């Protein structure tokens, strides 16, 4: 529950303020955005990735901030107190790395146990499977992540996969107040590097996989991997659940203690949780498992090999929390596919449409390989690449689509400020036979074309946007949903 602290008490871990300064100020709410400052609020001014909050100190003071905590620099070094219109501005060294601890001091958690999931792909599915399963066991569980924050039946939209430190703490506190016993959080590499969850204590940390993504931010795969690993090396995780089918995960598992390795193949040591047999059918996946928690078998109504991995990771996570194996087995068939994640749309006499968020080479490859096991006819792939993002993955994704799908339609994702024709040109450069590729920039029309030219045994994979209900074209955010397009064209009700 939120509480209030005196300013000198809040800042005590980083700065001892002389009594002569007489900073008799009570802090009840911290705010990073000067536009949201109101009377009695304490403004925190940090130098962010794109905006320097210190440029808005005067604006925050004008709006009624009772104090300002600012990131120190050469002009205003650590410990300096600058007064503006009788409002103190206190400068702290490395403030951006202290926000999580600051938020935790002001808004401590008491009963909400946290589960962190990181990795390139699968974070949303794993967190939501964990939440679904725990709810089936009678535990009120929430999620924080890409598709929204809150309880599964009433998710609130999220701006980022991992919000800023104050936002996270407020949300977790609100969920605790509403009765959440657990919250499964997607933790992005950006969130880890920027210290947004630094002070949180995680009951379990989960790693799904690592493949090319966000190199426009991290620069290299090595830096990207280190960002993900920091969840386990620089944050508080009581235990780790690691996918060792991923080479990076396998190398980490040998170093992390305590660690529960998870694999779709038998583990020689007998530790962790691993599959001894997997059966894929049109209706779902049956997994026979063994390991340190015993043997068993369960069925889940999900599609694809990577979902078998996601389910096993969720399964191992909940077992590590002390829940009974048989209770999980008995409820597994009640799990549901996650919104916009390998979500199946079907109507009699028409091709099946599968909507997914896959927007990296690895995710696209895994999804298409998974669908090939289920497809009795032709496999169609419709996808694009985002503008103003990593250009290196464009030819890679196009090549994967060409090699695994029978027909490829290149379309627009979020072109942003780039010309869609230039994005498609980059993609075509990765293909062996670019003249055989269909280009349709309008996503709805691309799907309509595929439906018109496909048969009932075909599967149409529509990738890249998943749960999203918008497209960013130029500076404009337009309403668009792959899920709505699929439902409309198949005459279904969402």
Binding residues: 32, 34, 119-125, 160-162, 188, 194, 196, 389, 413-416, 464, 468
Q: Where are the alpha helices (DSSP H) in 75-209?
A: 99-106, 123-136, 165-177, 189-193
Residues whose CB falls within 8 Å of the CB of residue 227, separated by 6 or more in sequence, listed in order: 189, 190, 192, 193, 218
User: Are the CB atoms for 184 and 117 separated by under 8 Å?
Assistant: yes
Reduced to 3 states, what is the DSSP secondary structure of residue 52? strand
In 3D space, the residue among 209, 258, 269, 196 whose CA is nearest the CA of residue 232 turns out to be: 258
In 3D space, the residue among 18, 23, 21, 19 whose CA is nearest the CA of residue 5 turns out to be: 23
Residue that is written with structure tokens 């074309």 in the block: 449
- Residue ranges at the known binding site for meso-2,6-diaminopimelate: 389, 413-416, 464, 468
Pairing, β 236-237 against β 141-144: unpaired
Residues whose CB falls within 8 Å of the CB of residue 66, separated by 6 or more in sequence, listed in order: 25, 26, 27, 39, 40, 41, 42, 87
Ramachandran assignment for 416, one of left (phi > 0), alpha (psi -120 to 50 degrees), beta (any other): left
Pairing, β 407-410 against β 379-383: parallel
Which H or E run contains 182?
strand 182-186
Q: How many CA atoms lie within 13 A of 115 on its CB side?
A: 29
The backbone torsions φ and ψ at residue 10, rounded to the nearest 5 degrees and listed phi first, read -60, -40
Pull the structure tokens for residue 241: 């659940």
Q: How far apart are CA 291 and CA 324, in angstroms?
A: 14
Q: How far apart are CA 87 and CA 66, in angstroms?
A: 6
């Amino acid at each position: 529950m939120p509480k209030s602290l005196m300013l000198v008490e809040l800042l005590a871990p980083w700065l001892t303020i002389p009594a002569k300064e007489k900073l008799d100020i009570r802090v009840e709410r911290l705010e990073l955005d000067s536009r949201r400052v109101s009377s009695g609020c304490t403004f925190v001014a940090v130098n962010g990735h794109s905006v320097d909050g210190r440029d808005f100190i005067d604006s925050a003071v004008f709006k009624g901030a009772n104090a300002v905590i600012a990131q120190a620099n050469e002009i205003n070094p650590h410990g300096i107190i600058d007064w503006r219109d009788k409002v103190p501005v206190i400068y702290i060294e490395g403030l951006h790395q202290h926000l999580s601890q600051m938020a935790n001091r002001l808004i401590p958690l008491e009963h909400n146990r946290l589960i962190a999931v990181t990795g390139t792909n699968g974070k949303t599915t794993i967190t939501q499977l964990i939440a679904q399963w725990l709810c089936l066991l009678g535990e009120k569980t929430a999620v924080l992540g890409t598709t929204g924050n809150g309880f599964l039946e009433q998710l609130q939209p999220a701006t980022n996969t991992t919000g800023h430190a104050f936002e996270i703490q407020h949300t977790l506190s609100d969920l605790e107040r509403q009765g959440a016993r657990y919250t499964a959080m997607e933790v992005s590499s950006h969130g880890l590097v920027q210290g947004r969850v630094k002070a949180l204590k995680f009951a379990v940390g989960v790693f799904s996989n690592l493949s090319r993504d966000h190199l426009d931010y991290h620069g290299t795969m090595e830096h990207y991997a280190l960002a993900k690993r920091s969840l386990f090396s620089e944050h508080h995780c009581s235990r780790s659940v690691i996918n060792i089918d991923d080479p990076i995960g396998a190398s980490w598992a040998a170093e992390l203690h305590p660690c529960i390795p998870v694999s779709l193949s038998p583990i020689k040591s007998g530790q962790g949780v691993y599959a001894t047999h997997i059966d894929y059918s049109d209706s779902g996946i049956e997994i026979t498992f063994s390991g340190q928690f015993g043997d068993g078998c369960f069925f889940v109504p999900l599609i694809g090999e990577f979902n078998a991995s996601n389910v096993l990771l969720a399964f191992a996570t909940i077992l590590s929390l002390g829940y009974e194996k048989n209770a999980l087995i008995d409820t597994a068939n009640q799990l549901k596919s996650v919104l916009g994640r390998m979500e199946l749309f079907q109507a009699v006499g028409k091709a099946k449409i599968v909507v997914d968020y896959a927007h990296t080479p690895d995710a696209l490859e895994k999804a298409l390989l998974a669908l090939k096991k289920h497809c009795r006819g032709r496999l169609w792939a419709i996808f694009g690449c985002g503008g103003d993002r990593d250009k290196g993955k464009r030819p890679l994704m196009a090549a994967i689509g060409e090699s695994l799908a029978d027909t490829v339609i290149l379309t627009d994702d979020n072109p942003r400020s780039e010309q869609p024709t230039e994005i498609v040109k980059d993609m075509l450069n990765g293909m062996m036979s670019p003249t055989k590729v269909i280009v349709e920039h309008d996503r709805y029309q691309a799907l309509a074309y595929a439906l018109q030219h496909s048969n009932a045994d075909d599967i149409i994979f529509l990738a890249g946007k998943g749960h999203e209900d918008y497209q960013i074209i130029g500076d404009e955010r337009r309403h668009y949903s792959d899920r709505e397009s699929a439902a409309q064209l198949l005459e279904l009700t969402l």
